[in-house]
Structure 1
């Protein structure tokens, strides 16, 4: 009993001291709140501040990611619009090229209106490189086409049919190495040969050879057309314009170069004259 009594007194004494310390601290620190509240605030306030800072940082990151997601979505939408506009622009360019080609063919049709003609599309070219020196069109014997019929494109003569199938025809262009066209100079009526040479076409020229021009009347800029003496080509079809002329070493003939009126890099549509030279000359 005595030991328990001593323990109670000791406990009471310790509690009294703690209470006294708290009361003193309350007066010294001028708290208007409970000292326990102060102790809790002293510990929790920095923790709360840290939590608020972390929350603010996380909120900022979430806003950043949300903005990025919105930008990505907007960029994808804009890219889709750009792709759509690119397709539309490409189609418009193709339509414009086709329209220009059809206008050229329409002009050719009227220029050589005395001949019967049929339109055709180029479906393949058979030589390597960028030039249409040999190509195939989508019309053949079923459409009344025959070998040696003249083919027009651009503003004049493109070539001649060398082979015909039921629904296709092969065309040898006048720039081909094996092509020779009897021609004449419109201004002077002097005759010459237009000889294909693929090594020259990169510079935009065709060979003009064996020009019978004893008085040297032919000059740069003169017009070259098919001659009436040709056995396969109809007369008067525009080939091109003289770009260079000089006298040969034999001093009897002249040679030079012609700039063709047909763009042999981009033939898409042609007109085939159904009249044959052999028939018209009879």
Structure 2
């Protein structure tokens, strides 16, 4: 008997889902009929009841749909903004490259303009423009190599200009290169002259004073009338055997009497930036005076024998 009861109980449990399914389907049909009646009945309590039930449902559906639509719109807008951002980045890169190119071109143009101005200051000399391609170690361009040589008319002993005046002299020349020693080098000596008084002096290179105060030294100035003043320009002298006359060297920075009370010495600030030399002018003429050998000639002979 208990076995039959358990069997009937299992059959009873299997029929429960079918009943619930029938009830659900009945509810759905009723809801569908109610919806249909709502649309066909112009008034009455049925429509009011439907309004309470279905209007909130419709609002919820509309709100959900609007949210989804907004999200889709935002996503599309984001993609558009990202594409525009990529385009803007590409434009910025192009503009940056163009700006850099323009700056380099302007820098080169300024250098060439400076060379033209320098060329105009010394119109009586024939010159060749050249670029610095190598230098010795250190902060200063005390000695360096240029990209022009004998095939361009450059030879040993020719004067080199940059900035506003004298750089140095050519000490060696090949077919397509030349080496230059600057007036700031310790081994350099130049016969100079104070242009305001025409008093002669000797200008000597001095790396130590260049490192300390960016000046070189002068000695053997005879200034009996004390006319030479700080700030006076110093140029190459007409008595120089190796340097063309009247090339600006720099301006007097300090003056002091020597112990012999006959001459003076001091310092000169060069007019050339010896830290940033890039382009120079080489005067393609040699100084020929026919005078006796001087300190400059002795120094040149020593250099040519050792180089």
2:118 is the counterpart of 1:108: yes
Contiguous gaps of at least 5 residues in structure 1: 1-14, 23-28
Aligned to 1:62: 72
What secondary structure does 2:80 align onto? helix
- Counting matched residue pairs gives 249
Any idea what the Cα deviations from partners look like across 1:201-230, whole Å, max 9, x if unmatched? 464422233323233221012110112333
Rounded to whole Å, the distance in 2 between the matches of 1:176 and 1:49 is: 92
Distance, in Å, in 2 between the alignment partners of 1:109 and 1:237 is 12
Which residues of structure 2 form unaligned runs of 5+? 1-22, 31-43, 292-307
Could you report, residue by residue, the CA deviation over 1:163-191 in whole angstroms, capped at 9, with x for unpaired residues? 21221111122223332222111112222
1:250-265 correspondence runs (5 A): 250-265=260-275
**1:81 correspondence with 2:101:** no
Which stretch has the larger CA shift, 85-94 or 220-229? 85-94
TM-score norm. by structure 1 comes to: 0.74
Query: Which residue is equivalent to 1:176?
Result: 185
- SS of match in other structure, 1:142: helix
CA separation in 2, counterparts of 1:51 and 1:248? Answer: 105
Greater helix share, structure number: 2
Q: CA RMSD in A?
A: 3.1
Deviation per CA, 1:69-95, whole angstroms, max 9, x where unpaired? Answer: 333333333333333333333333333
1:152 aligned residue (161, 172, 176) = 161
Answer with 191-200 or 236-245: which moved more. Answer: 191-200
Corresponding residue of 1:124:
134
Kept in 1, the 8 Å contact 2:189–2:205? The answer is: yes
Q: Do the aligned partners of 1:140 and 1:168 also contact (CA within 8 Å) in 2?
A: yes
Instruction: Check conservation: 1:127, 1:134, Cα contact below 8 A.
Output: no
Q: TM-score, normalised by structure 2?
A: 0.68
- 1:62 to 1:269, Cα distance in 2 relative to 1, 3 A: same
Q: Deviations over 1:9-44 (max 9, x none)?
A: xxxxxx9xx9xxx9xxxxxx93249x9xx6xx95x8
The answer to whether the aligner puts 1:190 opposite 2:196 as a matched pair is no
When structure 1 is superposed on structure 2, of 217-226 and 188-197 the one drifting more is 188-197
Alignment CA distance shift 1:193-1:79 (3 Å): farther
Whole-angstrom CA distance in 2 between matches of 1:50 and 1:65: 22
Q: After the TM superposition, which residues 199-278 of structure 1 pair with which residues of structure 2 at under 5 Å, given as runs?
A: 199-201=208-210, 203-277=213-287
Residues 101 and 154 in structure 1, CA contact (< 8 A), matched pair in contact too: no
- Given the alignment, which residue of 126, 142, 146 partners 2:151? 142
